[in-house]
């Protein structure tokens, strides 16, 4: 249920949850629009709310308009709108506190932007809110994006497992995001995705801005866009929504949710917003 369509007195604060979505506008290669993360987040928020309402009609699951903001280090391409990590932290913290002030007891943040520092900033904001208001805010996406290291089995379908085994280093605008966009918004995918170059980068190289920039050059993707398909996109979508719903239900029921609270890199101090910025 979209909150922007309700009057204030129609909002049920007693038996409800609010889903907040945010993701930046940023380049995604020659073949995808700069709104990829925004579109993915929007679809995941809508589909998750729909599934949760179906599973538990006794509770209202509200959504807010997607916030087009995020943190990342890609700065050399036109179209990028990135904010510093501490700004994302403070924005999310204030939004969550506003919703807490309404009397809402369950707030979930969903973001389709996988940059670890972006996800960690959101998680830090949730931790602050929980210290101040009791266990209220939850962001499972960092853990879902880093599922193996976080000890989570996403139970991918065979078609996705096979691709992940053969082409695992697909970090940005590759076969994963291109497939999802073919499923969500196929007309926005340029046909040249079928002729894109394979750009491979090892996970350990992803911590180096210089290596990322060298790999991307003037192209803008990391991975294998040419291998994308609508069939893969549908399988990825179904799996993602199922896992987000599972994590949220565990949080609301306070049942084995802790593994979903943090990106596996959250424990590294320099990746978090510094104490002096809190």
Q: What is the pLDDT of residue 278?
A: 43
DSSP, collapsed to helix, strand or coil, labels residue 235 as: helix
Six-digit token pair at 183?
Answer: 């499923």
Picking from 222, 216, 212, the residue whose alpha carbon sits closest to that of residue 172 is 222
pLDDT at 277 > cutoff 50: no
pLDDT at 75 > cutoff 80: no
Confidence of residue 208 (pLDDT cuts 50, 70, 90): confident
Confidence of residue 275 (pLDDT cuts 50, 70, 90): low
Confidence of residue 151 (pLDDT cuts 50, 70, 90): confident
What stretch of H or E contains 98? helix 85-102
Domain count, the chain: 1
CATH value at residue 197: 3.40.50.10310
- The average pLDDT across 258-266 equals 95
- The average pLDDT across 66-87 equals 91
Kindly report, residue by residue over 154-177, the tens digit of the pLDDT.
999 999 999 999 999 999 999 999
- The average pLDDT across 88-115 equals 97
Provide the domain limits for residue 196.
3-277
Q: How far apart are CA 251 and CA 229, in angstroms?
A: 33
Average pLDDT, the chain: 95
Q: What is the largest CA-CA distance in the chain?
A: 54
- The average pLDDT across 56-69 equals 97
Name the DSSP class of 180. H
Confidence of residue 244 (pLDDT cuts 50, 70, 90): very high
Picking from 155, 186, 148, the residue whose alpha carbon sits closest to that of residue 263 is 148
Kindly report, residue by residue over 9-53, the tens digit of the pLDDT.
999 999 999 999 999 999 999 999 999 999 999 999 999 999 999
């Amino acid at each position: 249920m979209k909150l922007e369509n309700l009057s204030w007195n129609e909002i049920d604060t007693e038996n409800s949850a609010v889903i907040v979505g945010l993701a930046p506008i940023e380049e995604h290669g020659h073949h995808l629009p700069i709104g990829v993360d925004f579109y993915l987040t929007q679809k995941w928020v809508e589909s998750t709310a729909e599934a949760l309402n179906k599973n538990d009609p006794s509770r209202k699951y509200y959504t807010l308009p997607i916030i087009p903001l995020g943190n990342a280090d890609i700065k050399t391409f036109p179209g990028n709108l990135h904010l510093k990590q501490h700004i994302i932290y403070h924005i999310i913290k204030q939004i969550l506190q506003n919703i807490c002030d309404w009397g809402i007891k369950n707030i979930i943040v969903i973001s389709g932007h996988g940059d670890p520092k972006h996800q960690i900033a959101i998680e830090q904001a949730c931790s602050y809110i929980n210290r101040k208001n009791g266990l209220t805010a939850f962001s499972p996406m960092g853990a879902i994006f880093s599922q193996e290291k976080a000890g989570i089995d996403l139970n991918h379908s065979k078609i996705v497992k096979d691709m992940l085994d053969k082409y695992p280093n697909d970090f940005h605008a590759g076969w994963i995001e291109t497939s999802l966009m073919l499923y969500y918004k196929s007309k926005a995918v340029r046909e040249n995705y079928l002729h894109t170059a394979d750009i491979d980068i090892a996970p350990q190289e992803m911590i180096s801005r210089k290596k990322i920039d060298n790999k991307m050059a003037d192209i803008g993707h990391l991975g294998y866009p040419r291998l994308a398909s609508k069939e893969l996109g549908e399988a990825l979508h179904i799996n993602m929504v199922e896992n987000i719903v599972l994590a949220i239900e565990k949080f609301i029921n306070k049942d084995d949710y802790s593994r979903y609270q943090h990106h596996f890199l959250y424990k590294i101090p320099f990746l978090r917003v510094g104490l002096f910025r809190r």
